[in-house]
Structure formats: structure tokens, C-alpha cells
Amino acid sequence: MKILRLDIDGLRCIGHARIAAAGGVQFLQGANGAGKTTVLEAMHLLGYGRSFRPGQRDAVIQRGATESVVFAEVVREQGGRSRIGLRRASSQWSARVDESDVASLVELFRICPVVCFEPGSHALIAGPSELRRAYLDWSVFHVEPDFLPAWRRHQRALKQRNAGLRSGWADHLLEPWEVELAEAGLAIANARRRVLQELRADVAAKAAAFLPELGTVQLHLMSGFGDRDSGSSEAIRLAYAEARAQDRERGHTRFGAQRADWAVSFAEAPRREHLSRGQEKLTALALELAQVEHFRNRVGEWPVLLLDDLASELDADHLTRVLDWVFAAGLQVWITGTAIPDILQRRNETWRLFHVEQGQVTPA
């Protein structure tokens, strides 16, 4: 998939920008605070419905503006173009696909798959479990058709059981929601397990390229069910029943798919605490690039890859390895930086340069 045109209105420091892009590498050059990352953020919004930056959702709206709008024209490798748009106003998202309103942002996410590596990506290794669940579930969402219905069932059942626990519902009122939690949760766990298994080969290849000194890499899934993960929805349902008394005291459901996590370990660094900050960044990069490869292998086309401030995150050797892979793969990549890396300028391949200054984006 490629983004051929990107329009941004009222997003952080960008009042208005229209960018005509092409395949391959797009490099956004500008000073700190010029708006380079905001361009990547616009594409990330189309692919996730949220920013990769921390903060409240309405913080994306430019100061003095009442709304933010992002529009893109995308083309799929199998053929066909789509025009998609996302609007944030009055604390609400609204979306359009090919000039028609859509009920769910999910329709945008399927059309505009985006993978992003940015300075905060090391939190994928050392940060909270929800970041790792989000990483894994992005891949599961795009390659497992039954995942989204199961996830929605689970979210609804979890909300209802938690409300019942806090309100003192009788056991017979909790039981139907526990059945839903067990069945949907097991389906989610199985889908995550399958996709993590598929990711292992791609992660191993990227880790060998970026972190050969750490040896063999392994991925480990913790389903969220602990010792209750017998592979049987009936056994999980009984575990929910047994946990009611303690869950009532806590006021929430203490185990299940919403508590899942996974970990990466190396032969020479079996615990994440053994990794330096630089190794955490390279591990996160290996994971993101492996995710891109996995998407390509399963879906049959590349997602868009966003690399924010890449030269400041990598040394020259690792930057060269990334660019070698990017140009060989031929996917669309958007890279930001305060200066064009010498390594990029010396390459013979075609790439496009955009200057970003005070929220204005102009082609070189």
C-alpha cells in the first residue's frame, strides 16, 4: 500500500499541508519543532485512530482551531484506490471512505496499514504490557478475520462483569458474561498465539541482522489466564466462577485476555533488564520491521513504514542496514530528520525530499 496524497488541516503546528508522494523513500527534513513528526502522526492517525505521541486525543488539534482533518489517497498493490479521511472535533472522531461516512474507524485501519518506529518505541520492550498487546493485536487484526468479533465480544463481556462485580450482582447474573469471557478470551489467546508463532522467524532474522551479539531470540506469550490456560473454555469459565469472591473485593476481573503479555529474550540477554537502552531500541526496531515483513507475507502487500528521527536513534552502521533493507524491499517509507544522512545522499536509488519549516511542507 502507498499513500499518494496526504492533506493535513489543523493538526498541531500544521495549519494546512498537501503532500504529493510516490513509492519508495520520502525524506522529511526540517528543524526540531518544524512539523516533521506531525506529518507522520497524521498517517498514524489514519492507521490507528490515535497518535503515537502521549497526551490527550484533543491535543492533536492546532491551537485556535476547532478541528483536525487528515485526508489521504491510497493505492493498493493488488490494484484499486481509496480516498479516506479522519476528522477530530468536539472530542469525537468521524471518518469517511470514498466520500461516504463510515460507522467505524476500523474501515480506515484496514485500508491504511501503518507501522511506526519513533524515539519512544523502546517502550515496546521495557514499557507496560498494553503496548506489547497493541503491537501483537495489530498483526492479529490484519491477518486473523475472526479476531475483531471475538475482541468486541470480550470487551463487552468484561465491561458487564466488572460492572456486576462492583454492583453486587448475584452469581446467576454474572455467569452468562463469564461464558462469553471464557469463549471469546480463548479465541483471542489462540489467535495471538498463532500470530506470535508466525512472527518468530521474521523477528529472528531481523534480530540476527541488528543484534547478532545477543544470540538466538525467543518470543514468549503469557495469555493472561496464568495456570488456568488449559485450552478449554469450560475450564476457564469455572476459573472465573471460583474467582468471583476475590474479584468482588477488588471490583474488577483479575485475569483474562485483557491481561495478556509477551516477552522477547536472547540467549545472551534472557531478561529485558539485561538490555541496554540502545539494545532496547534495536530490539524494538527489529520487531517493527519483522511486523512489516509478516504483514507482507500474510496479506500480500507492504504496509506504510514511518521512521521518525531515524538518524538520531541509530549509529551509521545500523542506519545503513535499515536503508539497505528499505531499498531492497521497495515499500513506501517516510523518514524524518534534521539533516539528510550522508549515507542516504550517497545512495544511487531514487528518493524524494521534502522540506518542513514552521508547519509548511514543500517538495525539494
Domain spans in the chain, listed from the N-terminal domain onward: 1-113+303-364, 128-294
Q: Which CATH number fits domain 128-294: 1.20.1050.90, 1.10.3720.10, 3.40.50.450, 3.40.50.2020?
A: 1.20.1050.90
Q: Which helix (H) or strand (E) holds 335?
A: strand 333-337
Q: In what order do the strands lie in the sheet with 14-20?
A: 14-20, 2-11, 67-75, 81-89, 92-97, 100-102
User: Quick one: pLDDT at residue 226?
Assistant: 82
- Give 62's contacts (C-beta < 8 A, 6+ positions apart): 10, 11, 12, 13, 14, 15, 68
User: Quick one: pLDDT at residue 337?
Assistant: 97
User: Quick one: pLDDT at residue 135?
Assistant: 98
User: Quick one: pLDDT at residue 79?
Assistant: 76
The bridge status of strand 351-357 relative to strand 25-29 is parallel
Residue ranges of the alpha helices (H) in the chain?
36-48, 106-111, 123-126, 129-143, 147-167, 171-210, 233-242, 244-250, 277-299, 310-313, 316-329, 342-345
Of the candidates 83, 53, 71, 64, the residue with the CA atom closest to the CA atom of residue 15: 64
Query: Distance between CA atoms of 22 and 354, rounded to whole angstroms?
Result: 12
Query: Distance between CA atoms of 364 and 352, rounded to whole angstroms?
Result: 8
User: Quick one: pLDDT at residue 78?
Assistant: 79
Residue-wise DSSP of 230-253? SS-HHHHHHHHHHTHHHHHHHTS-
- Ordered mean pLDDT values, 10 residues apiece, the chain (364 residues): 97 97 96 97 96 87 95 90 96 94 94 96 96 98 96 98 97 98 96 97 96 96 84 92 96 96 96 94 97 97 97 94 95 97 92 97 96
* CATH number, domain 1-113+303-364: 3.40.50.300
User: Quick one: pLDDT at residue 58?
Assistant: 82
User: Quick one: pLDDT at residue 21?
Assistant: 96
